[in-house]
Amino acid sequence: MKAKAPFTLPPVMAVIFSILSVQGGAAIAKGIFPVLGSASTSALRIVLSAIILGIYNRPNLRNLNKEQWKAVALYGLTLGAMNLIFYIAISRIPLGLGVTLEFIGPLVLAIAGSKRILDFLWVILAAIGISLIAPWSGNGIDLLGVFLALLAGGFWACYILLGGKISKIMDGGKAVSIGMIFASAVVLPVAIFDGLFQKITPVFMMSGLALALLSSAIPFTLEMGALKKMPAKTFSILMSLEPAAAALSGLVFLHEYLTFYEWLAVALVVIASAGATLTGKRQEQHATVEC
């Protein structure tokens, strides 16, 4: 008797569930910031994710050559910096705005070097979105939080470039698993200095485990499965929904209410990101999951 094939989600649903999982995890993370702090929460997520992905993928470290070690180390260090800076950013500004600003990095990367008028339209839309968020009056939104979210976006753009390069010389699952070890080396010292071991309890360890599953292990698995069945451009367009999903997660789970102009900023960045992907150059693309 022929064995039944394992149940798998349709690729579009897999990406949507991945987005919801990531932003749900971010909401959990922000919920425990008041006790653990952003650095310790980031470390908990990264270290536990490294353990989970290491057990799942079982990368053989002895088989790596010098080029692979160099690439995966830089990839992991960038990943760690991106996550740490982003968590500090969303400890100061609403989750939806943090993700919206972070998305500027990949957006700029998508249209870098283009001379087409249509691509400049996406830049203008994103710039209008940022101008609606910017604290022109000096009151309200935290300026440092805005800067850190944009900085995290810069690291995200670097992470995408490095992910594209490393995908040519290493298996994706093993690269992320080993990269998470180097990411841990970035966030763990900061968290220890921040008093991680004095704050941690069994309850927060369980929260950290849920955070690692929702923010890294589950979305990574869903996205890798989806990318095998859909074009990278379609995947990228769907990922453009991330700022809107973050804003909704912040509203539902954290009761973070955005103003009309802030919602408009989110919408403009989503449109700019999707538009840049949809009208981008027809060339080979490397879709990289956000861990």
pLDDT digits (tens, 9 = 90+) for 132-151: 876 554 556 788 999 999 99
Q: Is the pLDDT confidence value at 86 over 90? A: yes
pLDDT band for position 286 (50/70/90)?
very low
Domain holding 34, by residue range, is 12-278
Q: Scan for tokens 């022929």, then name that residue.
A: 2
Q: Is the pLDDT confidence value at 287 over 70? A: no
84 part of a folded domain: yes
286 part of a folded domain: no
**Least confident span in 99-103, 133-137, 272-276:** 133-137
* The two three-digit tokens of residue 156, written as one number: 């995200």
Q: Is the pLDDT confidence value at 14 over 90? A: no
Please tell me the predicted confidence (pLDDT) of residue 81.
Answer: 96
CB 142 within 8 A of CB 12: no
Tally of structural domains, the chain? 1
7 part of a folded domain: no
CB 41 within 8 A of CB 29: yes
**Model confidence pLDDT, tens digit, residues 238-260:** 888 899 999 999 999 999 989 89
Burial of residue 197, with CB atoms counted within 10 A of its CB: 0-12 exposed, 13-18 middle, 19 or more buried: exposed
45 part of a folded domain: yes
39 part of a folded domain: yes
pLDDT band for position 280 (50/70/90)?
low
> What is the reported pTM?
0.86
Q: How many residues does the chain have?
A: 291
6 part of a folded domain: no
290 part of a folded domain: no
* The two three-digit tokens of residue 162, written as one number: 């490095």
Please tell me the predicted confidence (pLDDT) of residue 138.
Answer: 53
100 part of a folded domain: yes
* The two three-digit tokens of residue 157, written as one number: 């753009």
CA distances to 59, 258, 263, 288 from 177, rounded to whole Å, are 7, 36, 36, 14
Which of 76-85, 110-119, 199-208 tops mean pLDDT?
76-85
Residue (of 261, 225, 267, 222) closest to 245 by Cα position:
267
Please tell me the predicted confidence (pLDDT) of residue 149.
Answer: 95
Query: Which segments within the chain are labelled E, that is strand?
Result: none
